[in-house]
Amino acid sequence: MKLILACGLLLTSLLKAQEGNDKTNLEMFPKPESGYKQVYIELPTESNEVNFKVELFIGIEATVDCNYHTLLGTIQENNLEGWGYTYYQVKSEGKMTSTLMGCMNNELTKKFIHMPSQIIAYNSKLPIIVYVPANFIVKYKIFKASENFLDAKTNEENTTPTPPILGKIDYVQLHNYFIKNTVKKVKTKITSQKEFDSYFGAATVMGTNGKPTSIDFTKQTVIAISKEATNYNTSIEITGVALGSMGDIIVSYKISKGTKQTYTSRPLALLVIDKNNTGKVILKEIK
């Protein structure tokens, strides 16, 4: 399909979704929860609508400095039972993350700060329904595929590019845990205590920091980096956690290989981040 290549897309200016209109029948959709509102988008009829896409931007107006800011939250796609229609539910506490550049003049500006955008199908026959917190704004862009096919390039180095980094994410490294012997593969992103306990055991040792680091899964998410068992003394050092341009969580790390041991062990590094960081985790090894 022609929409695969970003450079083959044409886009309109940013448009704002509507709130309430007698011309559109929205009665079959659920009423908004307390503190939320229902907004909708009506799309014009186009020929060959498969060549069009809609990009949703969910955000707030905020007064910010020169840094690049991103709103934290999730957009969930739901099915309207009995109708087969789709609507979208936004969950966000209005918290933001940003780059940490030094702003020379400390000037503050009112801007539209949004979550990572979401691209959805174009269908002029049905409205796009979105439920957002009452103070949130929904905007959108319409994309149309060009008539020309473009050629992809071959990656000669066979490497995976890392998304551009917008700013750092605070984290805490966990200590005194180990991978259970029955576990073959460890999941990278862990969001519940039950799931965590299925992979790891706790190892209390003597000393000031002998107890396993505590985790609060109501507020935190665990990220795990593990390697295959080895008979060399191997450690994993976390060098940083950053926010990518598409909301990805980029974890950078280094592996140090030491002397040979008389037993095997599985290298492991665990860390926790704020649960509001919901993006895909990308592990980046620093050679």
CATH assignment of the domain containing 57: 2.60.40.550
Amino acid 1: pLDDT:
40
Residue 255, helix vs strand vs coil = strand
What's the domain count of the chain?
A: 2
**Residue range(s) defining the domain that contains residue 274:** 165-285
Amino acid 207: pLDDT:
57
- 276 and 195 in a common domain: yes
- 259 and 216 in a common domain: yes
Amino acid 9: pLDDT:
43
Does 157 fall in a domain?
no
Amino acid 151: pLDDT:
86
Amino acid 59: pLDDT:
95
Q: How far is CA 257 from CA 104, 136, 225, 232, in A?
A: 43, 50, 15, 7
User: Do the beta carbons of residue 240 and residue 173 sit within 8 Å?
Assistant: no
- 275 and 178 in a common domain: yes
- 10 and 136 in a common domain: yes
The residues, any chain, with a CB within 8 Å of residue 78's CB and separated by 6 or more, are 86, 87, 88, 89
Amino acid 160: pLDDT:
59
Amino acid 254: pLDDT:
94
Does 156 fall in a domain?
no
pLDDT in tens, 127-177: 999 999 999 999 999 999 887 888 888 766 555 566 666 788 999 999 999
pLDDT in tens, 165-195: 678 899 999 999 999 999 999 999 999 999 9
Amino acid 2: pLDDT:
39
Amino acid 148: pLDDT:
80
Residue 272 CB coordination number (10 Å): 21
Q: In which residue ranges of the chain is pLDDT below 70?
A: 1-24, 155-165, 205-209
**Residue at a domain's end among 110, 145, 180:** 145
